[in-house]
Amino acid sequence: MREVEIPDSGERMIPAFHHEGVVYAEHVVRYLFATRFVGGKRVLDVASGVGYGADLLRSAGATEVVALDRSPEAARYGKTHHSKFRPAYVLGDVESLPLQSAQFDVVVSFETIEHVPDYQRFLAEVKRALRQDGLFIASTPNRGVYVEGNPFHTKEFTLDEFEEALAGHFRYVKTFSQDDWIASAVFSPEEMEGSDKPIAGQLSLFKAVGKSPSQTLYMVSLCSEVPLPEAGQEVVLTSLYEMRYYLEEIARRDAEIERLKTDLSEQVAALAQRDAALAERDVLLEEKARALAELDASLAEKDAVMTELRGAFQDLSQQMEVLQRSLGYRLLESYRRGIRRLFPPESLRGRPYRMFIQGLKAVVDRLGHLLRRGRPQR
* Better pLDDT: 197 or 41: 41
Residue 377 pLDDT greater than 60, yes or no: no
Residues sharing a CB contact under 8 Å with residue 124, sequence separation 6 or more, in sequence order:
169
Rounded Cα–Cα distance for residues 184 and 242 (Å): 15
Residues above pLDDT 70, as percent of the chain: 93
Cβ-based burial of 257 (10 A; exposed 0-12, middle 13-18, buried ≥19):
exposed
Q: CA-based diameter of the chain, in Å? A: 160
Q: For residue 55, give the nearest of 28, 73, 92, 36 by alpha carbon.
A: 28
| Helix 22-35 and helix 52-59, axial crossing angle in degrees, nearest 10 | 30
Task: Give me the pLDDT at residue 376, please.
Answer: 57
Q: Is 234 helix (H, G, I), strand (E, B) or coil?
A: coil
Q: What is the mean pLDDT of the chain?
A: 87
Amino acid at 133: D
The kind and range of the H/E element at 315 are helix 241-325
Is this structure's pTM higher than 0.85? no
The C-alpha atoms of residue 45 and residue 8 are separated, in whole angstroms, by 21
Q: What topology is assigned to 15-239 in CATH?
A: Rossmann fold (3.40.50)
Helix (H, G, I), strand (E, B) or coil at 152: coil
- Cβ pair 64, 99 in contact under 8 A: no
Q: Map out the domains of the chain as residue ranges.
A: 15-239, 240-325, 327-378
Per-residue pLDDT band at 3 (split at 50, 70, 90): very low
Span 216-222, mean pLDDT? 96
Q: Is 334 left (phi over 0), alpha (psi -120 to 50) or beta?
A: alpha
pLDDT tens-digit profile of 232-265? 899 988 877 666 666 677 778 888 898 998 888 8
pLDDT tens-digit profile of 312-355? 778 877 877 777 677 776 776 777 777 777 777 677 766 777 77
**Mean pLDDT confidence for 67-84:** 94
Distance CA 104, CA 55 (A): 17
Question: Would you state the pLDDT for residue 245?
Answer: 63
Helix (H, G, I), strand (E, B) or coil at 222: strand
What separation in angstroms does the CA of 303 have from each of 86, 182, 288, 306, 311?
Answer: 109, 94, 22, 5, 12
Contact 88, 57 (CB under 8 A): no
Phi, psi (5° rounding) for residue 78?
-60, -40
CA-CA distance, 31 to 62, in Å (whole number)? Answer: 13
Question: Using an 8 Å Cβ cutoff, are 235 and 29 in contact?
Answer: yes
Strand, coil or helix: 47: coil
pLDDT band at 375 (very low <50, low <70, confident <90, very high): low
